[in-house]
Amino acid sequence: MQSSNLGKVKKVYLLKPFKTKLYKKLNLKKLSFSKVSFYIFLFLVLSFGINELGKILSGNLNSYTVEAEQTYYKTSLNLDPSAISLTNKVGEGNILGVNFNKKINTHINIVDERAYVFDQYFLANNSPLYGYGKLFVEKCDQYNAPKDCITIIAIARNETNLCKYSISAEMHNCWGFGGGGEHRLYFESFEASIDRVSKVLMEGYGRPYMENPSLMEGTFCGPQDECRNWGNSIKFFMKQIDEFGKSLGINLMDLRNS
């Protein structure tokens, strides 16, 4: 009678002594979850570091472009991130004896420098017009005013200190339109008044008057004695705004002849 065990192959656990010895040596059964997590984290950090070092040695660093997408007036610097393109690229150099060639090209492009200057000017003067720089530029271009767009802002600076007089801000009338007292015009918003004033200055007076405010001294301000130096006062603030722009690296008056 044959044994029932015949024909069966006995399993031989060749690795069992080795595994048992390894477990005992490393004490793996007693490793806590925190220790395992630490070893995994250490492994990942070392792997990442070696990978980045390899990129540096091979000179294979990618250029990158950062393009912000928020709106113009919501940032702390009051820049329109949608109008900014910031590009950085690794330059030609030598790291650990390995040469790599990449061009450095850092460039900030502001779509409309005029709007930036105006808003920074409003901000510096604590004006409620802060945030409307872009609208001033849009209306300036819409009504074909001199390209520097300074005159309308200089008038607001002279007449109401950029609408810092409370009644002017409440009426959204920074230019004294309509005269004094009960005759002064009320606008529903700054958007409405900026549009109306820009249109009147260009269509009612014209480009020569915008370039030389003294020409409209007797009509815009009036025939009274206090208006005799009105034009020169506007020119003074025009120059002030231009100088402010230069402090930011932007020459507005150069745009007039462009």
Domain boundaries, the chain: 18-58, 60-111, 113-257
pLDDT at 52: 57
pLDDT for 183:
86
| DSSP run (H or E) holding 66 | strand 64-66
Residue-wise pLDDT tens for the chain (258 aa)? Answer: 555 554 454 555 555 555 555 555 555 445 566 666 677 767 776 766 666 545 544 444 333 333 333 333 333 334 443 343 333 333 444 434 444 343 433 333 345 899 999 999 999 999 999 999 999 999 999 999 999 999 999 999 999 999 999 899 999 999 999 887 888 999 999 999 999 999 999 999 999 999 999 999 999 999 999 899 999 999 999 999 999 999 999 999 888 876
Beta carbons of 205 and 211 less than 8 angstroms apart: no
Residue 61's pLDDT is: 39
Interacting residues of 161 by C-beta distance below 8 A, sequence separation 6+: 125, 127
Cα separation, 129 vs 148, whole angstroms: 18
Q: Which CATH class, in words, describes the domain spanning 113-257?
A: mainly alpha
